[in-house]
Chain A
Amino acid sequence: MRILSLAGRRLAASLPSLVIILIGVFLLLQLAPGDAVDALIAQMGGGGDAAAMRAALGLDQSVAAQLAQYLWRLVRFDLGFSTIYGKPVATVIFERLPATLLLMTASLSFAFFFGLLFGVIAARRVNSWPDTVISTLGLLFYATPSFWFGLMAIVLFAVHLQWLPAGGYESIGDGLTGLARVLDIAMHFVLPTLTLGLIFLAIYLRIMRASMLEVLTLDFVRTARAKGLDETRVVIRHVLRNAMLPMVTLIGLQAGTMLGGSVVVESVFSLPGLGRLAYEAVVQRDLNTLLGIVFISALLVILVNFLVDLVYARLDPRIAGR
Chain B
Amino acid sequence: MDLSRRAAMLTSAAIAASVNFPEAALAQETPRRGGTMTVHFATEQRILNPSLQASTGVYIVGGKIQEPLVDLNAQGVPSPCLATAWESTPDGKTITFRLRQGVTWHDGRPFTSADVQFTAMEMWKKILNYGTALQQFLEAVETPDAHTAVFKYSQPMPLNLLLRALPDLGYISAKHVYEGTDIRQNPANTAPMGTGPFKFVQYERGQFIIAERNPNYWRENLPYLDRVVWRVITDRSAAAAQMEAGQILYSPFSSLALADLTRLGRDPRFEVTTRGNEGNARTNTLEFNQRNPILADLRVRRALAHALNIPFFIENFLGDYAKLGTGPIPSTSADFYPTGMPQYGFDRAAANRLLDEAGHRRGAGGVRFTLRLNPAPWGEDIALFTTFIQQSLQEVGVRVEVVRLDAAGFLRTVYNDHNFDLATGWHQYRNDPAVSTTVWYRSGSPRGAPWTNQFGVTDAELDTIIDSAATELDPVRRKARYADFVRRANTELMLWMPIEQIFLSAFSRRLRNHANTPRWGSSSWHDLWLAN
Contact = CB atoms under 8 A, between A and B. Distances in A.
Interface of A: 32-36, 38-51, 56, 83-86, 92, 95-96, 99, 151, 154-155, 158-159, 162, 165-169, 172-173, 267-273, 276-277, 280, 283-285
Contacts of B210: 172-173
Interface of B: 36, 43-47, 53-57, 127-133, 184-185, 189-190, 204-208, 210, 227, 229, 231-235, 237-238, 241-242, 244-245, 247, 405-413, 416-417, 428, 446, 448-452
B231 A159 contact: no
A280 B258 CA distance: 23
A159 B239 CA distance: 12
A238 to B, nearest CB: 47
B46 A86 contact: yes
Nearest to B187: A86
Contacts of B56: 45
A39 B407 contact: yes
Given A32-B409, A41-B411, A173-B36, A167 B451 contact: no
26 contacts: A33-B412, A34-B409, A36-B408, A38-B416, A43-B45, A45-B129, A46-B130, A47-B132, A96-B205, A159-B241, A159-B244, A166-B238, A167-B242, A168-B207, A169-B207, A172-B208, A172-B210, A173-B227, A267-B234, A267-B235, A268-B238, A270-B231, A270-B235, A270-B238, A283-B408, A284-B408
Contacts, number: 166
Contacts of A41: 129, 411, 450
Contacts of A85: 46, 205
A44 B234 contact: no
A270 B428 contact: no
A270 B242 contact: yes
B245 to A, nearest CB: 4
A47 B229 contact: no
Contacts of B410: 34, 42
B412 A43 contact: no
Given A46-B450, A268-B237, A38 B412 contact: yes
Contacts of B407: 34, 38-39, 42-43, 283
A162 B245 contact: yes
A155 B240 CA distance: 10
B54 A44 contact: yes
Contact of A35 (B208, B245, B412, B449): B412
A174 to B, nearest CB: 10
A46 B451 contact: yes
B408 A166 contact: no
Nearest to B233: A270
Nearest to A82: B46
Given A47-B54, A272-B205, A34 B233 contact: no
A109 to B, nearest CB: 24
B233 A33 contact: no
Contacts of A154: 238, 241, 245
Contact of A32 (B43, B233, B408): B408
B435 to A, nearest CB: 10
